[in-house]
A and B are shown apart, each in its own frame.
Chain A
Amino acid sequence: MKIPEQIQRLAIVIAVIVGGVLLARFYLIPPSLIARDLHQATTVQREVARPVKFAGSTACQDCHQDVAVRKGKGYHRNLACEGCHGASVNHAEDPGSVKPFAPRDRKFCPVCHAYDAARPTGFPQINPTAHNPVKPCITCHNPHDPVPPRTPQACSACHAQIERTKAVSSHALLACTTCHTVPEQHKKAPRTALPSKPQTREFCGQCHAKDATRVKEAPKVDLPTHGAPYQCWQCHYPHLPEGRA
């Protein structure tokens, strides 16, 4: 049997191509280009070698212990130093010549404290245009221990919603302290020193029981039978008794 010449030539061409590819694949291309493990390891190494720019709060405490102690007691205790002062690894390495950024103008604090409807309820927010305009925030508030510059005198400073509700109710003339005993500390530590709340039916009965003499005009009920197993405030909202007028 004789192989036609065309086939012979074609076979040579194919052999050269296949041989070339195999040669390139196994001898010319360096193994580092093909080995998956190797190139992933180099990527990991490259990634790990990238410079760190935020030193971390523990690094700051080594030198700035006074600030750390003060901040640790205030509302900003959980804030990282570099959240306001910016990435400061350079400062941590060379404290003398590199100084971190310190925001002192009115633009910075509203980043967190400007009113935004999407912010969680209870987060302290202000209207930057109405709240002491022009003055930098740090004239009144120490950012390391932010508290209102004056302790609020009236309950309405914080509990404005209750104050406004009570003002239109039949309890309008009662002071908050008629029903709540407020420890002095509550103004400074509102969440730890809590005011008292009435605990018993008899407390409301001081005015609303049949034989009560304290306020003559107050509506009277027969305390032992009126909604007996329940506490008064389970049906009546004390800041606005009997709903809307």
Chain B
Amino acid sequence: MNKREFVKGLILFFPAAGLLRALGRELDAAPAGAPGAAGKESGSTGPGAEPAGGMPAKAYDADSHYYGMGIEVDKCIGCSRCVEACKAENDVPREPFFFRTWIERYDIKRNGEVLVESVNAPSKKPPEVAPDDRDVIRSFFVPKLCNNCANPPCVQVCPVGATFATKDGVVLIDKERCIGCRYCIQACPYGARYLDPRTKTADKCTFCYHRVVKDLLPACVEVCPTQARIFGDLKSRASRLVRFQRMNRIHVLKPALNTEPKVYYAQLDGEVR
């Protein structure tokens, strides 16, 4: 065999391999088509058909919803009822560094210095600001959670495709598929993800997906004593969230990153990152 023929063979080899692959898929489609199609079907009707908790759930159509959350910063009193409710509802580890939602306290000083601390992590609790501290000119709480972005960076980076956005706009994690590589935790610009120490898989807020499909509010929205959190469907013009968007001037966190977050803040201070 001379060089010319070797190269010719090499060039022919790869298309041949591709052809073989396509052929294989063709063969595969016939027997495997049945369970595959069943899976697709249950994807759209599955959540509603599931009679969880003994409730006669009506058919839930993921296509007709698109969820988001509104947060009115001026109403938050920093009581952490939402954080407690979230931990109870979603079985989040009790240690004060695993949160699906948490509250940050901002103290903005006269000289432009900004103190940011999580209210929920006692080890990092801010030194109590005296009521007559004239150096602090603004002080407020900001609830944070997963923004369930429409263009989620965590989904882009997942090497095994374990995290994905559902049709109704919630980013979920497949715990059976997650390999715990922490890439998504690094990629999230909002710090919304953590590694569950028990399963060694990534975890984060799901807008309480298991409640939402049963027409219940997310646990944090349910317990908020001042209605600082608004949950709703962006596809329904009559939803509370759309009304919230109509009545308030809205900002999202880190809009420059083009993640298209779906947690909308009203009266957000420019210092909040």
Contact = CB atoms under 8 A, between A and B. Distances in A.
Contacts of B129: 117
Contacts of A51: 52-53, 210
A48 B50 contact: yes
Interface in B223-273: 223-227
A111 B209 CA distance: 28
A37 B85 contact: no
Interface string B104-126: 01110000000000000000000
A54 B225 contact: no
B223 A54 contact: yes
Nearest to B25: A26
A52 B214 contact: yes
B217 A53 contact: no
A83 B40 contact: no
Contact of A50 (B20, B106, B210, B216): B210
Interface residues of B, number: 70
A40 B225 contact: no
A39 B206 CA distance: 17
Contact of A44 (B28, B76, B172, B216): B172
Interface string A45-70: 11111111110110000000000000
Interface in B111-169: 129, 131, 133, 136, 139-141, 161, 164, 166
Contacts of A115: 131
B196 interface: no
A3 B1 contact: yes
A22 B32 contact: no
Interface stretch (B41-49, B63-71, B94-102, B183-191): B41-49
Given A32-B39, A38-B40, A117-B131, A44 B166 contact: yes
Contacts of A119: 77-78, 141
Nearest to A114: B79
Contacts of B214: 52
Q: How big is chain A's contact interface, by range? A: 35 or more
A38 B47 contact: no
Contact of B46 (A7, A45, A56, A86): A45
A4 B177 CA distance: 46
Contact of A57 (B136, B210, B222): B222
Contacts of B75: 120
B12 to A, nearest CB: 13
Contacts of B58: none
Contacts of A53: 88-89, 219
A38 B161 contact: no
Interface string A90-134: 000000000000000000000110011111100100000000000
B74 A120 contact: yes
A35 B39 contact: yes
Nearest to B34: A31
Given A4-B1, A48-B52, A83 B47 contact: no
Given A38-B39, A47-B210, A118 B105 contact: yes
Given A48-B52, A78-B227, A112-B225, A87 B43 contact: no
Contact of A118 (B81, B85, B139, B209): B139
B89 A48 contact: no
A53 B211 CA distance: 9
A182 B136 CA distance: 37
A220 interface: no
B7 interface: no
A84 B129 CA distance: 27
Contacts of A46: 175
Contact of A54 (B78, B89, B105, B133): B89
Given A54-B223, A119-B141, 10 more contacts: A38-B39, A44-B209, A45-B42, A54-B211, A80-B225, A83-B85, A83-B223, A86-B88, A118-B106, A120-B75
Interface of A: 1-4, 7, 18, 22, 25-27, 31-32, 35-54, 56-57, 76, 78-80, 82-83, 86-87, 89, 111-112, 115-120, 123
Please provide the 9 A-B residue pairs with the shortest distance between their CB atoms, ordered closest to farther: A38-B39, A41-B43, A83-B223, A118-B139, A43-B174, A31-B32, A50-B210, A48-B47, A112-B79
